[in-house]
Structure 1
Amino acid sequence: MTVRAVQVIAGADVIAYHSARHGRSIARSIAAEHLRADHIEEALIYPVTTESTDHPGGYRGALDEFYESAAARLAAHLDAGRTVAVISEGDPLFYGSYQHMHKRLAHRYPTEVIPGVTSVSAAAARLGKPLAEADEVLTILPGTLPEEELTARLASTDTAVVMKLGRTFPTVRRAMERSGRLPEAHYVERATMTGERTEKLADIDAETVPYFSVSVVPSRIADLPPGTATSTETAMTAETATATTTTTTTTTTGEPSGHGEVVVVGTGPAGPLWLTPESRGALAAAEDLVGYTTYLDRVPLRPGQRRHASDNKVESERAELALDLARRGRRVAVVSGGDPGIFAMATAVLEVACQAPYRAIPVRVLPGVTAANAAAARAGAPLGHDYAVISLSDRLKPWEVIAERLHAAAGADLALALYNPGSRSRTWQVGKARELLLEHRAPDTPVILARDIGGPEESVRTVHLADLDPHQVDMRTLLIVGSSQTQAARRDDGTQVVWTPRRYPEK
């Protein structure tokens, strides 16, 4: 208890506390030595806790009625001129029962809230492990959340505390395991109180877990050796790929950590807002990051992680490096833009992973937001019906193949998402594609030019197919060409939206 809390209790006329129907109150037991015989005690006893109720308003109705009644009891003391101290374990405004009194009384009577030591801080102290360090993000979660939500949030955060275990423990444990955080998770029961217990979460029997227990996933940075560098950048080019493979198999953190794996992660089209929770968690857990420099720059620097950056023309070498690191026990994330399985690194990694000596190395591919979906969302819903995705780059396949596929998709009246439409060295493909598509599409077919979606230079414009200017298209632009049914309209606020109806006219 804080000094101020002791002072307030000493000066109060009435001591109020919440409890279950058994009448025992943890808050009262903590403050017991400071209570006087002349204190008026108000035990605010919950009518229900986790059981069902026949109240006409259901569980929530029963509690709301109780809170109103409890607040009225305290208000009667306050109206009589008595000072009331509501005592609450932990901090009164942190998942505390007091907050329900505060909302009903604080606007009517002078109120002081005395902060307390939360179970989160107490658990970390008893474990002797830092909760968060440097730029790490701490997430506090109630165990009552659905399992999928718990899993997603555990996967995406750096450190976490899950509260309100008890009957939720099996769900929390499964979420820890599914998110890959179970090996890091600790269990703390009744921190700083009689009956305290601390163990690894994986070793806990669910039948022994009370409500007043928490799970802690502490700081990863705190486990690094003193003096560990923030990161080490390793540049890789086609000429140095072999040398890099042999010189980057140890890191600033010492020996490889055990069973290695490669996770291919898509960052979305740009920035952290487009990153899925699963991908965020995989990037945080990786010991090595391998990828194109531009995509690696989107990932926050983390102490102890090593980065292996390269240009965008050494995909096979990049994949081999990642698999070599994993073969030596490293957890490796191959960083890709957009979705790694759409014109990106997943194919290159799997191609190499299916060759000796890499066939036994675990490889996972995590989905990401691809540029076509991001661009379509900005424009409206131009891909609302059947569509095809085609790359206009002829660096890895001949133009004749591209032209044949454009003819086939356009002839089938599919909307088209055209990746890699142009670059400094490829300036004629967009014009050729426009000519070809005009053989199948009306001149006023909507075409969306989506550039740098999610980035600082984002722009989205809609033009007619006949007016498509190749000089306005570069490598950072994605084109979406509508089908014969795609429509464009301007709304009252001046914005233009493009959509393709889900119903197709009968012939």
Structure 2
Amino acid sequence: MRELGKLYGLGIGPGDPELLTLKAYRILTTVPVIAYPISENGNSLARAIAAKFIRFDQIEIPICLPFNVKEPSQPYYDKAAEEIAEHLKVGQDVAVLCEGEPMLYGSFMYLFQRLSGQFPTEVVPGISSTLASAAMLGVPLTYRNDVLSIIPATLDEIQLRDRLTVADAAIIIKLGRHFTKVCKILDELGLLHRALYIERATQTNQQIIPITEVEATEVPYWSLVLIPSQTQGC
């Protein structure tokens, strides 16, 4: 009986290729097959991060994912899982590149759910953009017994307000078209003066802009608002 290939979920960090772990680098440069998400226009941040490490003889599987929240993503993940499975069945290891940390809002999670029960699987942790952003902004997130909340901006206003009301420190992700709504709530809660905005953290086109000067229509998906703790350090 043919030995099955192994599925790897590689966390490749938020953008700077030098933030790849040694383990992710080793696997990325030795597996015969790599897969990565692409947008409808064919762009792939994951591939761009790893581009200089990809060998010419590696098989590449672009995974087209809808970034339109109104379109169901299940059929896309089903199709990608089927294509990846064909390589695993014949003994070829496959590494799926995932921006940030695979198990924290990572696209790899949905392939993991579909394939890990059938094939040997290993997840390699990566640096999340949430934590990398704190480093880029130069602010400690939490002290002592603070609780950190990671909140998707896609929540409705009531949920956002409720969660931010009780947060010691917070990171609001998936901003994009929800930026105006987020700023409105932060202002209502008296948090706007603490809020820090960053987009494309660690990438060559990273920008840190005072939140009151951000043009709402230009806010990309790869942006977040960080509200650091008010607790004082030792």
* Shared fold per TM-score greater than 0.5: yes
CA distance in 2, matches of 1:187, 1:151: 18
Query: How far is the alpha carbon of 1:19 from its aligned partner?
Result: 1.1
From 8, 14, 28, give the equivalent of 1:9: 28
Residues 155 and 180, structure 1, Cα contact 8 Å, conserved in 2 = no
1:430-449 superposed matches below 5 A: none
Amino acid at match of 2:126: G
TM-fit CA distance, 1:31: 0.6
Distance 1:198 1:33 in 2: 26
For the residues of structure 1 that align with 2:212 and 2:193, how far apart are their CA atoms? Answer: 7
Map Cα deviations across residues 167-212 of structure 1 (whole Å, 9 max, x no partner).
1111111121122211100001000002111123222110121000
Aligned to 1:44: 63
SS in 2 for 1:38: coil
1:65-121 alpha-carbon deviations (Å, 9 max, x no partner):
111111000000001111100001101111111111000001111111000000111
Offset at residue 51 of structure 1 (A): 6.5
Equivalent position of 1:125 in the other structure: 135
Cα drift, residue 37 of structure 1: 0.3
For 1:175 and 1:114, the matched residues in 2 are separated by 36
- Measured in 1, the distance between the counterparts of 2:131 and 2:75 equals 33
- Letter aligned with residue 68 of structure 2: T
Aligned match for 1:20, one of 39, 61, 71: 39
1:346-402 alpha-carbon deviations (Å, 9 max, x no partner): xxxxxxxxxxxxxxxxxxxxxxxxxxxxxxxxxxxxxxxxxxxxxxxxxxxxxxxxx
Distance 2:174 2:57 in 1: 35
Matched, 1:106 2:106: no
TM-superposed deviation, 1:148: 1.4
TM-score normalised by structure 2 residue count: 0.89
In the alignment, the residues of structure 2 paired with residue 110 and residue 214 of structure 1 have an alpha-carbon distance, to the nearest angstrom, of: 34
What SS does the aligned partner of 1:87 have? Answer: strand
Partner of 1:493: none
- Asked if the contact 1:183–1:202 (Cα under 8 Å) also holds between the matched residues in 2, the reply is no
* Corresponding residue to 1:170 among 175, 180, 195: 180
Mapping of 1:70-149 within 5 angstroms? 70-149=80-159
Q: Which amino acid aligns with 1:14?
A: V
Q: Decide which structure has the larger Cα Rg and report it.
A: 1
Other-structure match for 2:5? none
Partner AA of 1:159 in structure 2: A
State how far apart, in whole Å, the 1-side matches of 2:123 and 2:56 are.
24
The residue type paired with residue 209 of structure 1 is V
AA in 1 matched with 2:62: A
- 1:407-459 per-residue CA deviation (whole Å, 9 max, x = no partner) reads xxxxxxxxxxxxxxxxxxxxxxxxxxxxxxxxxxxxxxxxxxxxxxxxxxxxx
Determine the structure 1 residue equivalent to 2:12.
Answer: none
Q: Give 5+ residue unaligned stretches, structure 2.
A: 1-19
Are positions 1:196 and 2:206 aligned together?
yes
Number of the residue aligned with 1:215 = 225
**1:387 — aligned with what?**
none
Q: 2:78: which partner in 1?
A: 68
8 Å Cα contact 1:162/1:214 also seen in 2: yes
1: distance between equivalents of 2:79 and 2:209?
A: 41
User: How does the TM-score come out when normalised to structure 1?
Assistant: 0.42
> Aligned partners of 1:65 and 1:139: how far apart in 2?
31
- Rounded Cα–Cα distance in structure 2 between residues aligned with 1:200 and 1:140: 21
CA distance in 1, matches of 2:84, 2:101: 20
How many Å separate the matches in 2 of 1:187 and 1:160? 12
Whether the 8 Å contact between 1:74 and 1:84 is mirrored in structure 2 is yes
Secondary structure of 2:124's aligned partner:
coil
**Coordinate RMSD, CA, aligned:** 1.3
Decide whether the 8 Å contact of 1:166 with 1:210 is kept in 2: yes
Structure of greater relative contact order (alpha carbons < 8 Å, 6+ residues apart) = 2
State percent identity of aligned pairs.
39
| SS of aligned partner of 2:217 | helix
Q: Which amino acid aligns with 2:49?
A: I
| Secondary structure, aligned partner of 2:98 | coil
Following TM superposition, the consecutive aligned residue runs of length 4 or more in structure 1 with deviations greater than 6 angstroms are none
In the alignment, the residues of structure 1 paired with residue 229 and residue 157 of structure 2 have an alpha-carbon distance, to the nearest angstrom, of: 23
Give per-residue Cα distances to partners, 1:219-267, cap 9 Å, x unaligned. Answer: 212xx4x76xxxxxxxxxxxxxxxxxxxxxxxxxxxxxxxxxxxxxxxx
Residue 125 of structure 1 deviates from its aligned partner by 0.3
Q: How many residues align?
A: 215
